[in-house]
Amino acid sequence: MSNAITATGEKLLTPAMLRELSARSDLQGLVRAGSHYGVIAVMGFLIWLVSSRYGLAWALPLIVVQSYFVGFLFMIVHETAHKTAFQSRALNLAVGHLSSFAIGLPYEYYCLFHWDHHRYTQDPARDPELLVGSIPSSDTQLAIAYSGLRQVAFRVRLMLRHALTGNATAPWIPQAKRHIVVKEARLYLAFYVVLLLASLALQTTLLLWVWVVPVIVGQLFLRPYLYAEHTGCERTRSAFQNTRTTYTGMFVKWFAWNMPYHVEHHAYPSIPFHALPKLNEIVADQIVYRGPGYIAVTRETWAWFRRARQSGGISVP
């Protein structure tokens, strides 16, 4: 059976192909999540071992490496938000909340935020990723944006606002869901306080160096990756035009849960991470924005931000 063609010339998967590619797998999800968390556990042990024997300074390179893997826990949050990381809904929720807690991004809130991002991708009036930010006003501000520091600060302020004031109003949060967002933020905050008090009681800074600092430093790796997804792409409704796929190595694809195939993900968000390489083989010729690696794409997105600032461009994530 041949693929159908849309009015804009895009090929659609046949129902049989879509069913095959959309099959979810607990095994695939457990292998990917297990390897991701396994590396974090091993790196955490090495940081503790080296810092306790030789001093913290000797463990700093390990903390930087740990930061990459902790920062990219965001990709688990993303995949579980789509309920495609596992076949089991319970596993999606459990691993999703664990990963969200680890990076300070409440899960239920992110699901609502991300759902609207998919509904209104690249729509400056309705895409949440465009609504929560603005064009950096200088190269210094642009560098801070790429460091992820302003995103971390925004995330912390937002959680505190939800938890302490009960104010969870945003276009992407339905009124019926606001109490869930507030309750979630309060639970996350309570667990953070418990861990802080436990660390003080035990007089240990272990969590600071194996977790908290890596969450912050990890944004240096994650933010340029996230900017590559849509920055500089067209403001259309077509995923093949408003999103970028970046071709990169197996290591990055593994810990990014195959999301460098981002056009494919936006075109068919029901297809799980492990099927995206196969989907790419089917639709690659339709992709408008193809990144030849993250170094090249980061140069491109950086230049786009500078041009947008000089021309008085619209908001960006």
- pLDDT, tens digit, 9 for 90 and up, residues 274-295: 999 999 999 999 999 999 999 9
> For the segment 236-261, what is each residue's pLDDT rounded down to a tens digit?
999 999 999 999 999 999 999 999 99
In a domain, residue 27? The reply is yes
In a domain, residue 178? The reply is yes
* Percent of the chain scoring above 90 in pLDDT: 89
Encoded tokens for 147: 């460091």
In a domain, residue 190? The reply is yes
pLDDT at 315 over 60: no
Compute and round to an integer the Cα radius of gyration of the chain: 20
Amino acid at 288: V
* Residue 126 and residue 293 in contact, taking contact as beta carbons nearer than 8 Å: no
* Percent of the chain scoring above 70 in pLDDT: 95
Its pTM stands at: 0.93
> What would the mean pLDDT of 204-218 be, rounded to a whole number?
98
> What would the mean pLDDT of 78-82 be, rounded to a whole number?
98
In a domain, residue 297? The reply is no
Which is more confidently placed, 312 or 101? 101
The reported pLDDT for the residue numbered 129 is 93
In a domain, residue 196? The reply is yes
The reported pLDDT for the residue numbered 5 is 47
> For the segment 9-36, what is each residue's pLDDT rounded down to a tens digit?
466 789 999 999 999 999 999 999 999 9
CA-wise closest residue to 282 among 95, 22, 58, 21:
21
Strand (E) or helix (H) holding 17:
helix 15-21
Task: Name beta bridge partners: 114.
Answer: none
- Domain that includes residue 199, residue range: 23-221
Q: Domains in the chain: how many in total?
A: 1
Amino acid at 24: R
The reported pLDDT for the residue numbered 19 is 95
In a domain, residue 115? The reply is yes
* Residue 294 and residue 252 in contact, taking contact as beta carbons nearer than 8 Å: yes
In a domain, residue 44? The reply is yes
Residue 211 has what DSSP assignment?
Answer: I
Show Cβ contacts of residue 44 under 8 Å, excluding neighbours closer than 6 positions.
Answer: 66, 210, 211
Encoded tokens for 216: 């912050």
* Residue 207 and residue 101 in contact, taking contact as beta carbons nearer than 8 Å: no
The reported pLDDT for the residue numbered 11 is 64
Show Cβ contacts of residue 214 under 8 Å, excluding neighbours closer than 6 positions.
Answer: 63, 66, 67, 69, 70, 71
Encoded tokens for 70: 């902790």
Mean pLDDT of the chain: 94
> What would the mean pLDDT of 88-92 be, rounded to a whole number?
98
CA-wise closest residue to 262 among 240, 237, 245:
245
In a domain, residue 16? The reply is no
In this structure, of 95-99, 211-215, 269-273, 306-310, the range with the lowest mean pLDDT score is: 306-310
